[in-house]
Amino acid sequence: MKKLFILLLALGACVAEASAQYGSVISKKITSNTMNVIKIRRDKTFYFAAGGQLNGVTESHFSPVVGYEAAFGFQMALKRGTQLGSQLGAEVGVTSRGWNYDQVYSSHKSTGMAVFVSPINYVYRMELGSSIWIEPHIGAFASLDVVENYKPDYEYNHYQLGNRGFVECNTDNDIFDAGINVGLRMWIAKRISLDLSYRQGFVQFAEKEVTVRYPNNSTASSYSYSPIAEEFKHSGLSGNLCLRVGVKLNK
């Protein structure tokens, strides 16, 4: 009887040890599987930004006009588990376009509104203190004018110079533009942003042709005009300097 009791006690110890080892293996397997299923998410930022800008043309005869811009944006960290470092983003919104051409022989102003999309932006987020982020960014954009307001200072692009002759003017704006944008954005308290950026178009935006004709002779009743006496042609690319204030939309 004593031997049977010792045998049962030894058998129970062996079963308990085997059960403990089996439970440990199952626990490790479950933990491993759980870690594989639960992946660390990438940080994402959704935001809205709006502000004012100077719309201009990269040619000295054109001067800038004051405009506006508003956009929704998104960016995502390339590395999981951090809000800092390299990120990719995109934007879509509306922006103003325009220029002012003010010369002795002609004064025209052109303003309009365009829909733009910036399909890819590279952003590098750095931390400055505990609650401030700094983000240099660069990307590409394309825009299409949907509203245009062209204001000449005289009708029919024809300006009379009295007995001295007259001026003919032709103006052309391309409604499509594409190029690059670069800027620097600062996040305050990780919620409010201040973004200074410059957008440079690569498509010829504004073209101004001016023809001046002088009379060959003049009488009290009539006079004839010579062929083209002087020709001016000025053209340039769009260039916009923009300052926007934004707010983060997600947590």
Per residue in 14-54, pLDDT (tens digit) is 545 555 554 554 445 544 454 444 678 899 999 999 999 99
Identify the pLDDT of residue 111.
84
Question: Bridge partners of 225?
Answer: 215
**Residues paired with residue 236 on neighbouring β-strands, in sequence order:** 206
Q: Would you call 11 exposed, middle or buried from its count of C-beta atoms within 10 A (0-12, 13-18, 19+)?
A: exposed
H or E stretch including 168? strand 166-173
| Residue 80 and residue 74 in contact, taking contact as beta carbons nearer than 8 Å | no
Of 5-19, 93-107, 157-171, 224-238, which range is least confident? 5-19
With a cut of 50, say whether residue 145 has pLDDT above it: yes
Look at residue 157 and tell me whether its pLDDT is greater than 70: no
* C-beta separation of 48 from 195 below 8 A: no
Report the pLDDT value the prediction gives residue 85, as an integer from 0 to 100: 95
Q: Are 134 and 128 contacting, i.e. CB atoms less than 8 angstroms apart?
A: yes
For strands 192-213 and 223-225, give the pairing.
Answer: unpaired
pLDDT value at 220 more than 60:
no
Q: In sequence order, what are the beta bridge partners of 4?
A: none
pLDDT tens string 178-203 = 999 999 999 999 899 999 999 999 99
